[in-house]
Structure 1
Amino acid sequence: MTHMTPTTRAAVVLGVAVALTAGLAVAPARAHAAPVDPSSTSVAASPTTASSPPARSSKSAERAIAAFTSRGDRGSTGAPVSPDPASTSVPTVTTPAAVSQTIRTTPTTTLFRGGLYVDPAGEAARAATTLTSEGRTAEAAAARTISKQPVATWLGSWLTDAQLVKKIDGTVAAAEKVGATPLFVTYNIPNRDCGSHSAGGSADNAAYLRWNSLVASRLAGHRVVVVVEPDALTLISNCPEQTSGREATIASAVATLADAGVPAYLDAGNSNWVPPQTMAARLKAAGVDRARGFATNVSNYYPVESERAYAEKVSQATGGARYVIDTSRNGRGWKGTWCNAPGAGLGVVPSVQTGTTKLDALLWIKTPGASDGECNGGPAAGKWHASYAVQLVANRATG
């Protein structure tokens, strides 16, 4: 925490201690951002049906304060708690406004302290193991190359509530063990992807906000970063009949994350989709003032400089919101199509930025090698596309 007097800091810490003890409350897209099932080869589009697990085990005020004050260095030390199948409620968390303010002002060196987390059991690593066992040497090598970089962990309706809790808790615990910062993506908005390759999401807004509250409850008290709902705001231009009222829903989800002390970046499309002023208006309606900022180029191919120019305009129109850029597949620039684009290559490796612009980080938000859908020879959205991963590695950016 920065820019606070000792008295203010003490008040914030005490408030978060109470919040961590209490739990978390329910607040009132396209296929190129495909979900990934971490435990199987298929992606389910149906809503989650498992009962909501409880919040983490209660701590004394002293332990909660100690966990919060050390979060900037190593995160909470609390062990993951298994979900209770009999539980049907998500408890309430209330945190001071000062905590939300630090989401906007914390330096990137603090926000991403310890560097970005590389998951040794991520999608690419699992693919490499499978391909090696099948004797597919070249494809295994490509997957292994991708697995060495920090890639976001996607969360959505292909996970039951119990699986969701296990995935979040396991990833957070592993990242904290090595002192790194994990990146998550929420991808469960109703009518996700306007019914295209990655169709699905929660059954309705109420179910989505309950799901988002569960996510926030597991992330509360830990040093993490979240990208919120790729394509959700941009697709308002494509299918307004399916996305009516979406800004308010996202604003409620972002407020819940902010109340849990979780820095969020709302997806803002890319430099060749929605005009900056239009996107800025949507971001404002979707609660960007409570978030860290916004993300661009998720699962797309536009060069960093194009995205930076676009993002700076959006930032200015949103009062200086910060941003991140997805470089996972932009090493060869835009190739004329968004779906498993032929000729695409890996972009520059993820890195945290400390310059004078509003750019926080270059990230691999899309999982390189995961299919966008059944297009250009790809398998279903979210499945590993082994030959495409080989192409991405072969065409990767240099320098």
Structure 2
Amino acid sequence: MRALTLLAALSAAGASVTASPLGSPKPPKPAGSDINPFVGKKLFANPKWATKLEDTYRSFTQKGDRANAAVVRKVQKTGSFVWVTSRSGLSEIDDAIRSARNEQRRTGQKQVVGLVLYNLPDRDCSAGESAGELSSKNDGLRIYKEQFIKPYAAKLAAARDLQFAVVLEPDSLGNAVTNMGVEFCKEAVPTYREGIAFAIKSLQLDNVALYIDAAHGGWLGWADNLPLAAKEFATVVSLANANNAPGSKNATIRGFSTNVSNYNPYLTSNTTRPRDPYTEWSPSYDESHYASSLSPYLSELGLPAHFIIDQGRVALPGAREEWGEWCNVEPAGFGHAPTADQKVLQNENVDAIVWVKPGGESDGECGLAGAPKAGAWFGGYVEMLVKNADASVKNRRV
């Protein structure tokens, strides 16, 4: 996952800093709900992830590091998304529903359960570190629809007492925008489009907010890529409604997710965190600015300009020499704690800062020497994330 391509780099070299479509007509009102699903709710804290962090807690206590051990306890109670990445993994939804219901009853606090839907045929066509179980050459699209999307939707439909926020297929449409020069991606993109459109259509539930993954500012945020990205997203949403009966209700999404499993900061400034040098020519030099840069192009096409932004891990200043470094980046830390508070967000297009990527799960056998395969636990890495955690995490009251 998280591959940055030659085309994106070429776009960077010739990018203009103009980020909005000048002289465009007033856009139609975006489709979709106007209700931010995160306001007044708590992002569900996955107890399965918390259990994995027990080894991290013990490691710090054995070293006599009580300060960082205390941070681990706060991280364990921080909301994060549950990844559902295979047909056998659909049981993760059942476990999350059961735990979220228990927490909702115990605390009286309405939960929003974050889920990642990630199992397209020919998944991760440009990087290959997170290749999935399905192939388009082996009836993968039919299997995806019948054996993955339909039961996924049925489980959420049966849990109307919970709110869900679902991230749809990280990286897939980013590859459709910039990686058509990669033969495997070129062949996979029609499957990506049809599969995501089917997922959108299938998940039209009152208790589900859908966020199409929009990669990140370093990938699609260049001035040349912004209109191409919006057009690709509009193509998929239109495909979800291609066979509607006359007068039927259109399938809609809530918005878009960015920075999933990546390391970009939410907001940079001269007084807090400075911009990294490689962002110099981009209008999307942090993820908040990416949301602002992409929003007018989305609105022009009638798409909702709402975003959730992953800050599960953030690279420290100077950790990367280029945006294309995406695998087990060092040094990094847990980013800003999840929030929908506009005093923090300072961007009305952003619904919430969230933790989509559960810190501690490896990006793949890349980046740091000795890194395990994608999704495997990387104990030394999560200790680093704790030590470098954002102040909003360290100072939380839990």
TM-score tier (shorter): 0.5 to 0.7
Aligned partner (choices 110, 115, 122) of residue 191 of structure 1: 122
Residue 363 of structure 1, aligned match among 346, 350, 354: 354
* 1:322 maps onto 2:262 in alignment: no
2-structure distance, mates of 1:136, 1:243: 48
| Long gaps (5+) in structure 1 | 1-28, 33-99
Listed as ranges, the gaps of 5+ residues in structure 2 are 5-29, 180-184, 239-250, 268-285, 393-398
Change (3 A) 1:391 1:144: same
The partner residue of 1:229 within 159, 169, 172 is 169
Identity over aligned pairs, percent: 29
Are 1:174 and 2:159 an aligned pair?
no
The alpha carbon displacement at 1:293 in A equals 0.1
Deviation at 1:201, TM superposition (A): 3.9
Higher alpha-carbon deviation: 341-350 or 141-150 = 141-150
Mean CA deviation greater in 372-381 or 254-263: 254-263
Q: 1:332 to 1:249 in 2, by over 3 A?
A: same
State the partner residue of 1:215: 152
State the shift of 1:215 in Å. Answer: 1.3
Deviates more, 1:136-145 or 1:185-194: 136-145
Tell me the residue number matched to 1:309. 289
Q: Secondary structure at the match of 2:188?
A: coil
Cα pair 2:2 2:261 within 8 Å, conserved = no
Contact kept, 8 Å, 1:299 with 1:366, in 2: the verdict is yes
- Partner SS for 2:154: helix
Aligned to 1:200: 132
* Structure 2 counterpart of 1:192, one-letter code: R
Structure 1 residues 246-265: aligned runs within 5 Å = 246-259=192-205, 261-265=207-211
User: Shift in Å at residue 299 of structure 1?
Assistant: 0.9
Local SS of the residue matching 2:190: coil
What residue is the counterpart of 2:54 in the other structure? 129
- Which residue number in structure 1 is paired with residue 235 of structure 2? 285
- Matches of 1:192 and 1:282, distance apart in 2: 17
Kindly provide the amino acid, as one letter, of the partner of residue 386 in structure 1. Answer: G
Q: Is the CA contact (8 Å cut-off) linking 2:56 and 2:383 kept in structure 1?
A: no
Report SS of the residue matched to 1:181. Answer: strand
Conserved 8 A contact 2:57-2:73:
no
Matched to 2:349, the amino acid is K
Q: How many angstroms apart in 2 are the aligned matches of 1:351 and 1:373? A: 28
Measured against aligned partners, the alpha-carbon deviations of 1:38-86 in whole angstroms (never above 9, x if no partner) come to xxxxxxxxxxxxxxxxxxxxxxxxxxxxxxxxxxxxxxxxxxxxxxxxx
* Compared CA separation, residues 356 and 335, structure 1 to 2 (3 A): closer
Paired AA for residue 320 in structure 2: K
| Structure 2 counterpart of 1:294, from 231, 238, 256 | 256
Equivalent positions of 1:16-165 (< 5 A) are: 29-30=1-2, 103-106=32-35, 108=36, 111-119=38-46, 121-123=47-49, 125-130=50-55, 137=62, 141=69, 143-157=72-86, 159-161=88-90, 163-164=91-92
Which one-letter code corresponds to 2:78 in the other structure? Q
1:205 counterpart letter in structure 2 = L
Displacement of 1:325 after TM fit? 0.7
Residues 113 and 149 of structure 1: CA distance in aligned 2, closer, same or farther (over 3 Å): same
- CA distance 1:213–1:171, change in 2 (3 Å): farther
1:271 equivalent in alignment to 2:271: no
Cα gap change, 1:352/1:201 in structure 2, threshold over 3 Å: closer, same or farther? Answer: farther
Question: Does the 8 Å contact 2:338/2:353 carry over to 1?
Answer: yes
Aligned letter for 1:186? Answer: L
| Partner of residue 353, structure 1 | 341
Per-residue CA distance 1:348-367 (angstroms, 9 max, x = gap): 11101346621100011111
| C-alpha displacement of 1:168 | 4.2
Residue 263 of structure 1 aligns to a residue whose secondary structure is strand
Amino acid at match of 1:346: F
Is the contact between residue 251 and residue 287 of structure 1 (CA under 8 Å) also seen in structure 2? yes
Rounded to whole Å, the distance in 2 between the matches of 1:344 and 1:261 is 34
**How far apart, CA to CA, are the structure 1 residues paired with 2:256 and 2:152?**
19
CA root-mean-square deviation = 2.9
| Offset from partner CA, 1:286-311 (integer Å, 9 cap, x none) | 22871100011111111213111111
* 3-state SS in 1 of match to 2:129: coil
> For the Cα contact (< 8 Å) 2:2–2:326, is it kept in 1?
no
Aligned-partner Cα distance in 2 for 1:202–1:248: 15
Counterparts in 2 of 1:135 and 1:303: CA distance versus 1, 3 Å: closer
CA change 1:216–1:131 in 2 (3 A) is: same
Please state whether the residue corresponding to 2:357 is helix, strand or coil: coil
Distance 1:144 1:216, change over 3 A: same
Change (3 A) 1:168 1:217: farther
Change (3 A) 1:378 1:279: same
Letter in 2 for 1:351: T
Q: TM-score, normalized by length of structure 2?
A: 0.67
